[in-house]
Every structure is written in structure tokens, then in C-alpha cells.
Structure 1
Amino acid sequence: MGKASFVIRRILQLVVTLWAVGTVLFGLFRLMPGDPTSYVVSSQMTQEAREQIIASYGLDQPLHVQYIKFLENLATLQFGQSFHSNQPVTDVIATYLPNTLLLMLTAFITAYAIGITLGVLSGWYRGSRFEKNAVIVALTARSVPTFYVGLIVLWIFGANLGVIPMSGMTSLGSQQTGFWQMVFSLDFLHHLLAPALVLGFYFMGYPLLIMRSSMLEVLSEDFIDVCRAKGLKERTIMFRHAARNALLPIVTAAAIALGYAVGGSVLIETVFAWPGIGREMVRAVLRRDFPVAQGTFMVLAATIIFLNFVADLAYGYLDPRVTYD
């Protein structure tokens, strides 16, 4: 099987996976107890007004008709209208998704910069106290739940010391007029610091452990002995030769980790009251706002699935030894 056939097959699998995720979401939200129109239909309305509102959302139609309409909207990236705000779901996603991406990318870049560096050093100084401490830190970072660390950080540095904001993305009364003006303001960076570091601490363990293992494999290769025989400095061998060749597993795993970073935004956004798509998804589920909940779930699922697809392609591109037979 050639590369083109592999790509086509993976695209078809991607489409089928998205269809399966959408079908499961459609069924789950309609099996949940309660009335999804309770937020928009008042008990004081007449029966005719209630039926008119329910019909406007298409909830008076049979389930199979609703399902077909759902798939049609999904194919055209139209997720319907919010039951709660009556806004198009695409507008809701466009409002909250950039906030999530800012938080996730900041945490991801911080985690990988620190994790890769510590992984290189721990692999190079194998058996040292530094390596043992680095592994302990990595395992702790991967084991402790992010919401628990976030609550501890808020309690110590927010409630007791008052050095970090307790919630939100900006302070009350801030005068930023545009999105980018807000992003580059000191007030925004002050609010971003704590959730980004908490999430970055959790993600840091993954690249650290992978880079350490990859470095141990590379250091056993013959070209490392050749570099030493040439008289190259140890620092040059470590970073320019060993670390560079050990980066392949990190690069391919980074795409998958980034997908899960975006998808795992729910807990950290809820703890820090960060107005992102993960927090909005939780609120939509609690309000039984089917369109918003389905739309946000689909965006997060599509992000993870697509980045897995990118990782598959990147691995074959970066490593010539990989074939598609």
C-alpha cells in the first residue's frame, strides 16, 4: 500500500470516526432525563406558544428526522441554535474556542520546552541524582489530578497570599477594546499565569519521560562514540547530535498530546473559571443545551482525531525507515 492509499484510508477512517462520535452524542443527550426546553419555555406561556417554540427547534419531529437533520448540519458545520441564548452554536464556539487555544498552547509550549530539556539532561546523566529527581517529578506531574493541583494553587496563592486572580481571564473594569489588545495586556498575562503553569506541570511529565528514554537509546549508538573520537565538546554532543536524533518520538507524540491538551481543558477551565470551550461545554450539559453541548463536544473530538491523523503522517515524513506496505 502506497502513501497515497494510506492517506485516503486514514481520511475515510477519520470521517467514519467523526460520524460515530456524532451519533453517540446525539443519542446520549436525548437519553438524558429532563426537558431541554425548560430554559426557553415558560410555564406562563400558552400551549400554542410552547408548541411554536418547540417546533422552531425541531424537537417536535420524530427522532430519525432529528438525526438526519443533525447529520446534515454536521456536514455543513452548522450546529443549530442554542436553547439558552438563541445564538448560533458556531458563534458560541467562535467566542470561547480562542480562549481555550490561548491557554492550551501556552501550557503546551511551556511543558514541552521544560520537559524536553529535563529529559535530555536526565538521559545524559543517567544514574545520577538529577535523573532520579527528574523522574520523580515527571511521575508526580502525571499522577496528581490537575483539578487538585489547581485547587491547591488557588487556595495558597489566591485566597491566602492574594498574588494570583481567583477566576476569570481579565479583571473587572478592564478597558481592553479588542481581542489582541487584551491578549498582550499585563492583566491578561496575570490571569493566564496560574492555569497555564498548573496545566503545563501536568503535561511536562510526558515529554520528559519520552525524551529520557529516547536519549538512552541514542546514546548507545555508534555515532556518539565517533563524535567523542573527533574531540567534540560534551555539550555539543549532547544537544546538537544526541538530542537532535532523539527528538523524533517527541515530534510525533506532540501532535497527539496537543489534541488531548485541547480536549482536556474541561477541568482546568472549570477550576479557574476560565471562559473557554471546555467550561462552556460543562455549562451547556447542565442546562441541557443540546446544540451547544453537541457542537463543543464535536469540535474537541474533531481536534483530537485530526491531530492523531497529523501524527501518523508526520511519523512517516520524519522517519524515512517507516513504510506503508
Structure 2
Amino acid sequence: MGKANFIIRRTIQLVVTLWAVGTVLFGLFRLMPGDPTSYVVSSQMTQEARQQLIASYGLDQPLHIQYIKFLENLIVLEFGQSFHSNEPVTDIIVTYLPNTLVLMLTAFIAAYLIGITLGVLSGWYRGSRFERSTVITALVARSVPTFYVGLIVLWIFGAGLGVIPMSGMSDLGTGGGSFLEMMFSLDFLHHLLAPALVLGFYFMGYPLLIMRSSMLEVLSEDFIDVCRAKGLKERTIMFKHAARNALLPIVTAAAIALGYAVGGSVLIETVFAWPGIGREMVRAVLRRDFPVAQGTFMVLATTIIFLNFVADLAYGYLDPRVTYD
């Protein structure tokens, strides 16, 4: 019963948190200076035409009516139409979200594979030069802003050496075909390499430091001495026994890190002009396109909140020591 009550309680908290985020977004964009209708209302329009256009977006109604309709639309995942392009916001999100997911997942998987491996080795070889160098690398990766690293990479390898593309995810004239066909093309992989490595470098420090700390804790357990007493090889003890038992914090932290990875791709998409949902969100804010900005913000926030929820549930299932009483 304890676990069922915990799930119900966390689900209620999830809904309340989403409502709070939506409310903040609604108020935040309407408190911004400037006229959001300037992109859709031309100065050459007649007053009657301008009022009709503003009314079609519901901007002539009182704020509380706009707020109620905003919440009603959120429930059915309807974010309205873009002020800038007059497209449904849902279509815009569906268009750009896959690009973000490809970039984010590529960087995330590479970062966790490399970070976990380095974390295992640094924990195993504690006190060595290798451990000190990996810890310093992890701290640098977590401390240096991703946009700064991205600009340095573009300056050196893009503008200087010319070995990476400066922007976009494909060369001009190479489009066409399905999204899957484009994903596995050499041109797409060439454009993906630099932003994925920069983003992966930032993510790598998190699993590396967690895995190192977890390995140090596991290596102090008695069963490690038992494994050595049995005459098992050091490599077998390190990977099959120590690393396997040290993975629990990584598994549960991965869900949280995955959520923040989606939000963290905003800066990289802007620097590398990657046509993802993060870059589209920044462009929507700059041109005060309320529907697109609210929709993209809400998608990113929902992803982070939901993956935090999954992490809470996963920890209880993976670790039998956790209780819900």
C-alpha cells in the first residue's frame, strides 16, 4: 500500500507542477515589454481588419478568459497558432522535436558510455595520475559553459581548419527523402558530429563523478575481498562485480540527466544553428511569438518533470532498501 500511495501522491504532485509551470509561462510572456501583435498586424491594415485579426488569436479577450482557454488547450495538447507563420504550434513542435531528440540522445549515449567507463577506471585506480586527470576533466566539463566550448570549436575547427560545418544539419541542396534516410546519410552525420561532441563533453562529467564515487563505496565492501580470495581476475572483479553493483545510482540519475539534456541542448542548437526545438524556442521569444514560445517551453518542462517522476519510481524498484512508508 505504501508504494501505491507514493505513486498516487507523486502523480498528483506531477499534475500540480505542470499546472504551476503553465501558469508561470502564461503570465511571463504577457508581462514582457512590446506588442506581440506587431508581427501579425500590418500598419497598412484598416482598423477593422486589425481588430478581426487580433480577435482571431483571442488577444482581445480579458486575461482570465485567455488563461482559462490556455489551460483547456493544454489538456488536449493544443497550443494555438504561431503569430509569425500562422502554422499550428503542434505542427512546429512535431517538425523540430525529432531533430532535438537525435542530437540530445546521440550526445547523451556517448557521454554515458564514456563517462561510466572512465568512472569505473578512476575509482578502481584510486590515487593514480589517471584518476586525477579524469576528475579534473570531469570538473572542467561541468564548469565551462557549453556555448563557450561550442564557439571555440566553431572558431578552430569550422572557421579555422574548415573540417566541420558552421551551421545546420545538412548542406544546401542535399535535402529530400525521409527523416530516417537523412539521419543515416554521411552529410547529416558530418553536421551532427561537432554539436553532439560538445554537448556530450558537458554531459560526460556527471556520470563520471557519480560512477567514481559509487565505485569507491563498493570497493570497500567485504564481497570484493571475497572475490579476490577466490582468485578471480582483477578485470573480472572490476567490471563484473564492482561496476555492476555501482551502477544503481547511475541508472536512477540517468532519467534526471536525460530530462536536463533536452533543456541543455538549447544553447548548442543556437550556437550551431541546429534546427531543433530549443533554437525555435529562442527565436519565438525574440519575436514575441507567444504560442510557439509557450508550446516549446511547455514541452521541455514536461519532459524534465516527467523524467524526474520516472527516476523517483525507478529508484524504488531497483533498490530494495528504499521504502515508501
- Do both share a fold (TM > 0.5)? yes
Match of residue 14 from structure 1: 14
Match of residue 253 from structure 1: 253
Report the AA paired with residue 74 of structure 2.
L
Q: How many angstroms apart in 2 are the aligned matches of 1:63 and 1:40?
A: 20
Report the AA paired with residue 294 of structure 1.
Q
**Secondary structure of the corresponding residue to residue 324 of structure 2:** coil
Per-residue deviation, 1:176: 3.3
Match of residue 201 from structure 1: 201
Report the AA paired with residue 131 of structure 2.
E
Say what the alpha-carbon RMSD is for the aligned residues.
0.6
Report the AA paired with residue 160 of structure 2.
N
Q: How many angstroms apart in 2 are the aligned matches of 1:61 and 1:101?
A: 37
**Secondary structure of the corresponding residue to residue 110 of structure 1:** helix
Report the AA paired with residue 126 of structure 1.
R
Q: How many angstroms apart in 2 are the aligned matches of 1:40 and 1:141?
A: 43
Gaps of 5+ in 1: none
Aligned length: 325
Q: Is it true that 1:134 corresponds to 2:134 in the alignment?
A: yes
Match of residue 117 from structure 1: 117
Q: How many angstroms apart in 1 are the aligned matches of 2:17 and 2:271?
A: 31
Report the AA paired with residue 317 of structure 1.
Y
Q: How many angstroms apart in 1 are the aligned matches of 2:175 and 2:213?
A: 48
Q: How many angstroms apart in 2 are the aligned matches of 1:216 and 1:90?
A: 47
Report the AA paired with residue 197 of structure 2.
L
Q: How does 1:88-103 map to 2 (within 5 A)?
A: 88-103=88-103
Match of residue 234 from structure 1: 234
How does the TM-score come out when normalised to structure 1?
0.99
Report the AA paired with residue 156 of structure 2.
I
Q: How many angstroms apart in 2 are the aligned matches of 1:210 and 1:232?
A: 26
Match of residue 145 from structure 1: 145
Q: Is it true that 1:177 corresponds to 2:177 in the alignment?
A: yes
Match of residue 222 from structure 2: 222
- Identical aligned residues as a percent: 90
**Secondary structure of the corresponding residue to residue 168 of structure 2:** coil
Could you say if the C-alpha distance between residues 281 and 175 of structure 1 is closer, same or farther in structure 2, counting changes exceeding 3 Å?
closer
**Secondary structure of the corresponding residue to residue 237 of structure 2:** helix
Q: How many angstroms apart in 2 are the aligned matches of 1:174 and 1:103?
A: 19
Match of residue 78 from structure 1: 78
Q: How does 1:17-56 map to 2 (within 5 A)?
A: 17-56=17-56
Deviations 1:233-292, CA, capped at 9 Å, x for gaps = 000000000000000000000000000000111110000000000000000001100000
Q: How many angstroms apart in 1 are the aligned matches of 2:164 and 2:246?
A: 37
Q: Is it true that 1:268 corresponds to 2:302 in the alignment?
A: no
Report the AA paired with residue 140 of structure 1.
V
**Secondary structure of the corresponding residue to residue 38 of structure 2:** coil
Deviations 1:41-83, CA, capped at 9 Å, x for gaps = 1000000000000000000000000000000001111001110
Deviates more, 1:219-228 or 1:172-181: 172-181
Q: How many angstroms apart in 2 are the aligned matches of 1:160 and 1:300?
A: 34
Match of residue 188 from structure 2: 188
Per-residue deviation, 1:175: 4.0
Match of residue 310 from structure 1: 310
Deviations 1:170-197, CA, capped at 9 Å, x for gaps = 1100043110000000000000000000
Report the AA paired with residue 142 of structure 1.
R
Gaps of 5+ in 2: none
Q: Is it true that 1:282 corresponds to 2:282 in the alignment?
A: yes
Q: How many angstroms apart in 1 are the aligned matches of 2:163 and 2:34?
A: 42
Per-residue deviation, 1:295: 0.3
Q: Is it true that 1:3 corresponds to 2:10 in the alignment?
A: no
Q: How many angstroms apart in 2 are the aligned matches of 1:221 and 1:205?
A: 25
Report the AA paired with residue 315 of structure 1.
Y
Q: How many angstroms apart in 1 are the aligned matches of 2:265 and 2:38?
A: 28
Match of residue 211 from structure 1: 211
